[in-house]
Structure 1
Amino acid sequence: MKDEMDSLLTNQTWQLTELPQGKKTLQNKWVYRVKDEHDGSKRYKTRLVQEV
């Protein structure tokens, strides 16, 4: 999860700001997945997604 957060900050995908008065935050969660590669190895992936 830390790697994903560092990547978002490094790529300047978003920035942390103050929430405007009277506004609500978006609900989000981390999704973890293990991906099987063709050579039999496993790769661990993480994404931050908005909850609906």
Structure 2
Amino acid sequence: ALGNLFGNLKGVIGSTILVSGDVALILDVPALIQRAVNRESQLLAYSQAKQVAQA
């Protein structure tokens, strides 16, 4: 379990302890990519709507 610190962090699905003792987060790469694509789509739609409103 990721606990309180990282439990709600989107795009992180787990953690592990490395041989060095450091903690490494395990990323959900497909979810992070999808989130970036969705964000880019939202920004593009907002920009286009703003241009239409100003025209």
Say whether the fold is shared (TM-score over 0.5): no
Which has the greater radius of gyration?
Answer: 2
TM-score (normalizing by structure 1): 0.28
Q: Which structure has more RCO (C-alpha within 8 Å, separation ≥ 6)?
A: 1
Q: Which has the higher strand share?
A: 1
